[in-house]
Chain A
Amino acid sequence: MTVNGTQVTRRVQARQHLVDFLREELGLTGSHIGCEHGVCGACTVRVNGEIVRGCLMLAVQANGCKVETVEGLSDSGELKDLQKAFHEKNALQCGFCTPGMLMAAQDLVLQKKKCSREEIRNHISGNYCRCTGYQAIVDAIEQVLNGKG
């Protein structure tokens, strides 16, 4: 598979989840493990352009796929605007949910449409954050989507 633009080849156990593969085999520890049953969204990564839960997909299922993580999208600059807005609005506290939250938010940004706060709230409603209460996250995404300060 291709991970953040680099071709990687590994022999993996059939039972290994994609997020465990990224973290344990490739040392890409930016994608976090929060619940391992698909609820919290901390492990959200992009596979062939679609955001997926890294804990609900097996590594073998990503065979031949293009996988992107928060590290790759940070280095390429794709997340720059969101990261800046998250920083300015303090849309993160402990930062454990943040990589998954950014991946989910970028998915909305790529749709290139203006959204209401309610639509933003709905889009990230599969990403759990215990620290912020979500308002600052909605503010930050709104700033990037709609150019609102």
Chain B
Amino acid sequence: MAKAELPLHAPGTQLDKGYIGQSVPRPNAQRLLQGRGAFIDDLRFPRLAHVAFFRSPYAHARIKKLDFSKALKSEGVIGIFDGRAVAEYCTPWIAVLAHLKGIKSPPQHAIAIERACWQGEAMAAVVAESRSQAEDAVQLIEAQWEELPVVVDMDDALEGKKIIHAELGDNICFKRELDTGEVDAAFAKADVVVEDTFHFGRHTGVCLEGRAILADYNAAEHSLTVYHATQAPHMMQDIFSRHLNIPEANVRVITKDVGGSFGIKVHVYADEMATAALSVMLRRPVKFVADRLESFLSDIHAREHKARVRLACTKSGEILAFELDDLTAIGPYSVYPRTSGIEGNQVVNLTGGPYKHRKYRAKMHVVFTNKNVCCQYRAVGHPIAVALTEGIVDLAAQKLGMDAADFRRKNLIPDDAYPYTFPSGIKFEKLSHHKCLDKLLNLMHYDSLRREQNELREKGVYRGIGLAAMIEVTNPSPAFYGVGGARISAQDGATLRLEPTGMLTVMCSVTEQGQGTEAVFAQIAASAVGVTLDKVRVITGDTAVTPYGGGTWASRGAGIGGEAVLLAGRALRSNVLDIAAAILKTEKPKLDLLNNEVIDRLTLESKMPLSELGRVAYFRPDTLPLDFQSELTVTRHYTPRQYGFTFTNGIQASWLEVDPDTGFVRLLKHWCVEDAGTLINPMLVDEQIRGGVVQGIGAALYEECLYSPDGQLLNGNMADYLVPMSGEMCDIVCAHVETPTQQSQLGAKGVGEAGTAGAPAAVMNAINDALAPLNARVTAMPFTPERILKALRKV
């Protein structure tokens, strides 16, 4: 049922949408605005100990001797532990999944044993009374190292002259091939074939709050409470339980305010597992907060790819086939429990995705290197796939002399073609590429912008327009992880409780990372039950309180958690009306709920406030019929299952200026038209898109983790690793097409990753559009001034 049909209120009340579709400010933002949030580092505990890690200075080396004697004498030190000591309390893990056939990775320990495989890997843990004392003692650890051969370059890793993990036989973590057949024939009969190789620099999330965990083991109960800046509390509960051998029900994971996540905080980190183990070992609370330098060395990196892509088309501009050969490097370990094979897998699934060609062949290798580990980061694989697709599509249009928008219109999958199966096997329920394209071109005044561009070129001003159509994975079913054996929940649950005063408490397994989850749940719950928004309180992020669920990742919070809230809200409304009918001695169908009151469904006349209903139900149930029991707490769950993923689509455009003398890029404007299905809170949706776009712009223009040939991270701090700051960013215009998913009653699809998915491609195409009259082209992100000047043959 689509949004407009939601029967939340009686017909004719003009309130049938409730708060759904309204841009209400987030109620939970107030504490953050006053500096009264509760981030992990803000918590205060008695007997709290602090851990700092002794990290490898080498990319690949064996420890011959580790001497703690001096460090142990340092002031405030409680204990120092190596990999073997921690391994007695925490079992190792291997990050593979059954549905990624052939994926392999060695066991990883909480603290590495004997051998370091990247610069920054934790080799020992120092626990002290304060963080500064722990850091002081780290400096006093003496280690003797034997340096081992280092594999840094992706091609070297694939070639395999030096093998990082001898027991695996080669450096290949995972490979995949896909072939629809008849690809060679399509290329043979093509009028035009274009080919290019694109490079993507590895970059990272740079969450303003470093990774943070405070583990508090209670020896008397053999229970562990973990305050954790994570996106997936239940997943972490399962992992702490299994690897520390503590019964699941004795592990409680609490996630309070989290200072940015973006996929960085959904993985298992060895140093965080060590922190939990240390709490068990020392029988006291232990805290670890990654500082900025160790964040760069140990937060997951992502998106180091080199990909060759070919496109075949007719002279009239009809795309016939795509071919892809992708190589990506993920560091020395596949990351637990999601694996590091997913990003490359997504690139294979998604490349060419908006277009209607039927022939596709892809080859992809994921290789190990001696750099920091890589895993899923906001928009997993999409920025790569969209840039490959849209980069080569622009090149084809250019070669044919066709306008970039016209070429897309000719090839985008028609809006009436759904349901549709793309050649890679992914299924689309309903997309709206053409509606989005038309809306975008109107929004940005495409034709007049082209005229302006041409006029300015005459004056030596080089501006470019870049388009990027995209498809995006949202609301994943168990097909994403569960089928491969990962204990990651694709379902989520919500519990709603009407309080005696008529207030509504909502407890949901999806977490709040700042995106506004709690606000949209409050909107849905208030609408579904029939209360005003000020009566709703939302609780998330506590495994002991909320129903079981997956948490926040893959643009799933609103679509999956929101549906669970809606279903629970409708059930609670029905239960409340049962009580009202019993109290008022009337028939339930004659009643409804609106604005905290039981009303007459036909006359809308108020019959009883919910506070009175709550009083009777909780404190005077003796006045109700003997066989009647009120149920004012309701739990419902939801799992998307009809499609593997609820795909969304959208299109972005970038308008920018390149200075051919300096190579600098000045962003002028950016547009995004997105179809996220039902919009629950348009303001929050737009802000997700804007933030995502800027994160994508960072990847396109500034961000890269640079390594030396011997595997040393060269720019692991915020002075040398550039992130987007306000001065360089432009305004971003958002617009929407709404195609609700028919799989749920709410109709919401995900939107959290859309901006990041398409922005790098739009910026790349705009730069190349600007450079086209100068006969220059760039294909290696980030597009630094140096790279642009090289393309212009000026350096």
Binding site for B on A (CB under 8 A): 15, 23, 27-37, 39-40, 42, 69-71, 74, 79, 83, 86-88, 90, 92-99, 102, 117, 120-122, 124-138
Q: Is the CB of A93 within 8 A of B691?
A: yes
Contact across chains for A130 and B690 when beta carbons are under 8 A apart: no
User: Looking at B41, B207, B514, which has the most chain A CB atoms within 10 Å of its CB?
Assistant: B514
> Is residue B417 within 8 Å, beta carbon to beta carbon, of the partner chain?
no
User: Nearest chain-B residue to A137 (Cβ)?
Assistant: B726
The residue of chain B having its C-beta at the shortest distance from the C-beta of A130 within the complex is: B260
For residue B719, CB closer than 8 A to chain A, the reply is: yes
The answer to whether A90 touches B208 (Cβ under 8 A) is: no
B292 touches A94 (CB 8 A): no
Question: Which of B33, B206, B695: most chain A CB closer than 10 A?
Answer: B33
Minimum CB–CB distance for B512 against chain A, Å:
9
Is B29 in the interface zone, CB < 8 Å from A? Answer: yes
User: Is there a chain A Cβ closer than 8 Å to B64's Cβ?
Assistant: no
Give the shortest distance, in Å, between A86 (CB) and chain B (any CB).
Answer: 6
Q: Nearest Cβ in chain A — how far from B255, in angstroms?
A: 12
- Give B9-45 interface residues, CB cut-off 8 Å to A: 25-26, 29-37, 39, 41-42, 44
Whether B718 lies near A42 (C-beta < 8 A) is no
- Known contacts being A90-B683, A92-B29, A130-B260, is A69 close to B35, with CB within 8 Å? yes
Q: Which 4 A-B pairs have the closest CB atoms?
A: A30-B35, A95-B32, A94-B514, A96-B259
Cross-chain contact of A27 among B44, B257, B723 (Cβ < 8 A): B44
A136 and B691 alpha carbons, distance in the complex (Å): 10
Q: Which residue of chain B has the shortest Cβ distance to A16 in the bound complex?
A: B132
Q: How far is the CA of A12 from the CA of B261 in the complex (A)?
A: 34
CB–CB B690/A29 < 8 A? no
Q: List 13 A-B contacts (CB under 8 A).
A: A23-B41, A32-B209, A34-B208, A35-B718, A37-B717, A40-B208, A95-B514, A96-B259, A125-B728, A128-B725, A130-B723, A131-B691, A136-B690
Q: Give Cα A95 to B229, complex, Å.
A: 14
A residues within 8 A CB of B690? 132-133, 135-136
Q: Given A97-B208, A130-B208, does the pair A125, B41 have CB atoms closer than 8 Å?
A: no
Question: Which of chain B's residues 189-212 have a Cβ closer than 8 Å to chain A?
Answer: 205-209
Nearest Cβ in chain A — how far from B686, in angstroms? 8
**Contact for B208 among A23, A124, A129, CB less than 8 A:** A129
Say whether A98 contacts B695, CB under 8 Å: no
A133-B732 CB under 8 A given contacts A90-B684, A95-B257: yes
Flag if B30 contacts A30 (CB, 8 Å). Answer: no
* Tally of A-B Cβ pairs under 8 angstroms: 170
**Pairwise interchain contact A88-B25, C-beta atoms closer than 8 A:** yes
Q: Which residues from chain A contact B515 at a C-beta distance below 8 Å?
A: 93
A31–B725 CA distance with the chains assembled, in angstroms: 20
Majority SS at the chain B contact face: loop
With A125-B726, A134-B729, A135-B729 already in contact, the answer to whether A96 and B33 are too (CB < 8 A) is no
Q: How far is the CB of A16 from chain B (nearest CB, A)?
A: 8
Residues B262 and A130 in contact, CB atoms below 8 Å apart: yes
Which residues of A lie under 8 Å from residue B33 when comparing CB positions? Answer: 74, 79, 83, 86-87, 92, 95, 98, 102
| Residue pair A37, B262 in contact (C-beta under 8 Å) | no
Q: Are A36 and B723 in contact (CB under 8 A)?
A: no
Q: A107–B452 Cα gap in the complex (Å)?
A: 39
Q: Quick one: given A71-B35, A94-B257, are A34 and B513 in contact (CB under 8 Å)?
A: no
Assess whether A133 is in contact with B32, with CB atoms less than 8 Å apart: no
A128 to B44, CA, bound (A): 26
If A69-B35, A74-B34 are given as contacts, then 14 extra A-B residue pairs at C-beta distance below 8 Å, sorted by A number, are A28-B35, A32-B259, A90-B25, A90-B29, A94-B208, A95-B33, A98-B35, A117-B731, A122-B727, A125-B728, A126-B725, A130-B262, A133-B694, A134-B726
- Is the CB of B594 closer than 8 A to any CB of chain A? no
B513 adjacent to A83 (CB under 8 Å): no
Across the interface, which residues of B come within 8 angstroms of A87, CB to CB? 25-26, 29-30, 33
What's the nearest-Cβ distance from chain B to residue A144, in Å?
13
Partner of B726, one of A23, A36, A127: A127
| B30 proximity list for chain A (CB < 8 A) | 87
Known interface pairs A29-B42, A129-B208; A99-B514 also in contact (CB < 8 Å): no
The interface residues of chain A lying within 8 Å CB-to-CB of B724 are 133-134
B42: nearest residue on chain A (CB-CB)? A29
B685-718, CB under 8 A of A: which get 1 and which 0? 0010011111100000000000000000000011
**Do A125 and B209 form a contact, CB below 8 Å, given A31-B35, A131-B514?**
no
* B258 proximal to A (CB < 8 A): yes
Within 8 A of A (CB), among B598-631: none
A131 touches B723 (CB 8 A): no
- Return B705 CB to nearest CB of chain A, in Å: 16
B516 at the interface (CB under 8 A from A): yes
- In this assembly, does B291 line the interface, its C-beta being within 8 Å of a C-beta of chain A? yes
In the complex, what distance in Å separates the CA atom of A132 from the CA atom of B25?
Answer: 15
